[in-house]
Amino acid sequence: MPANTPKYGFPYPTGTDRVMDGDNAIGALAQAIEGVIGGIRISESVNASNYTVTDTSTELTGTRQTITTAEREYWLILGIWDFSVTTAGGANAARGTLYGDPLPPLGLGGQYVQFGLDQVNRGNGIMSAVTPVLEPGTYAVWQRAHKTTTGGVVICNALNTRMTIIRIPAGLLPAMSRPAPEPGAPELTPHAPDSEPAI
């Protein structure tokens, strides 16, 4: 009689299974693996056009993703910002931020990537965030950008500025489930600022 792996319950034949039943055993295993892999979803958004960055944190058009989940999920969010200084002038700092709504469960808003650009040059980087387990519901995530400068023009370039969200059903990652706190330990609440900290 087939046995099952302890973590995901994948079926596999044992020594007492008949060779003639191998096709059934392999078929059951293939179906189980497909069910696991099929539960992972990936979506991507791209900055719609070159954006001239200002000192006000602004949502980048085209990057917002609004997703409705029907099951508990973890999200891995990858954001890429591609900044360039097209006109030199003093010291420039450009910042890219992941933001979301509603903030508390997503845990976004306080993290950012920052670039120092003091000449006509280009800087880019990637930021990642892993959410706590999200309950079924509707969530929105987007990219923002702003700068401080004493001169110069900073552009957040299209195409290379993008965001990818990888959604993983919570049941597939039991190791990521947070352990119960020790008795008497204080409960920690993620900090979700109403606005981004100043550069």
pLDDT score recorded for residue 35 = 64
Q: How far apart are CA 132 and CA 74, in angstroms?
A: 6
Q: How far apart are CA 9 and CA 30, in angstroms?
A: 12
Mean pLDDT by 10 residues, the chain (199 residues): 73 70 73 70 94 92 95 90 79 82 73 68 78 91 84 85 92 55 48 43
Q: Which two tokens stand for residue 72?
A: 């508990």
What are the structural domain ranges in the chain? 3-37, 41-174
Q: How far apart are CA 196 and CA 119, in angstroms?
A: 26
pLDDT score recorded for residue 194 = 43
Q: Exposure of 76 by Cβ count < 10 A (0-12 exposed, 13-18 middle, 19+ buried)?
A: middle
Q: How far apart are CA 162 and CA 145, in angstroms?
A: 12
CATH topology of domain 41-174: Jelly Rolls (2.60.120)
pLDDT score recorded for residue 199 = 43
The model's pTM is 0.69
pLDDT score recorded for residue 51 = 95
pLDDT score recorded for residue 125 = 73
pLDDT score recorded for residue 195 = 47
Annotate the chain with DSSP letters as a single string: --EE-TTT--EE--TTS-GGGHHHHHHHHHHHHHHHHTT-EEEEEE--S-EE--SS-EEPTT--EEEEESS-EEEEEEEEEEEEEEE--S-EEEEEEEEEESHHHHT-SS-EEEEEE-SS-EEEEEEEEEPPPBPSEEEEEEEEEEEEESS-EEEE-TTTSEEEEEEEEGGG-GGGSPPPPPTTPPPP-----SSPPP-
